[in-house]
């Protein structure tokens, strides 16, 4: 699972709309979708985009995934975290 998925931003893209799409594509589902965005290619100057993306990322609320206002939540349960499977997978 998990190919490299690229987002290509062309010079005349609507910055506000595109920023929202990039944030959802990258951070949506905590990056656990096999189609999650892994790379953004800017056809022109990326500096104004970088600043806006960083600003959006900084305001995302990371919390328990069951909280209604959480943007990002846990991708592992307590049961799996303490399991033999998790210990083997992280060695």
Four-residue CA torsion sign, 7, 13, 18, 19? positive
User: What is the count of structural domains for the chain?
Assistant: 2
Same domain, 45 and 5: yes
**34 an active-site residue?**
yes
Same domain, 43 and 5: yes
Same domain, 54 and 67: no
Domain that holds residue 54: 1-60
Catalytic residue among 1, 3, 34, 54: 34
Kindly report the pTM of this predicted structure.
Answer: 0.66
CA angle centred on 9, ends 4 and 15, rounded to 5°: 130
* pLDDT values of the chain reduced to their tens digit, one per residue, 91 residues: 445 778 899 999 999 999 998 888 887 766 566 777 878 889 988 888 888 988 988 888 887 767 778 777 776 666 766 676 656 666 6
């Amino acid at each position: 699972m998990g190919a490299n998925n690229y987002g290509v931003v062309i010079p005349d893209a609507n910055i506000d709309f595109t920023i929202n799409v990039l944030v959802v594509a990258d951070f949506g589902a905590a990056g656990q979708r096999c189609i999650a965005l892994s790379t953004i290619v800017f056809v022109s100057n990326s500096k104004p985009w970088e600043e806006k993306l960083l600003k959006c990322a900084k305001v995302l609320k990371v919390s328990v995934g069951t909280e209604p206002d959480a943007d990002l939540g846990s991708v592992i349960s307590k049961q799996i975290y303490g399991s033999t499977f998790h210990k083997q997978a992280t060695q």
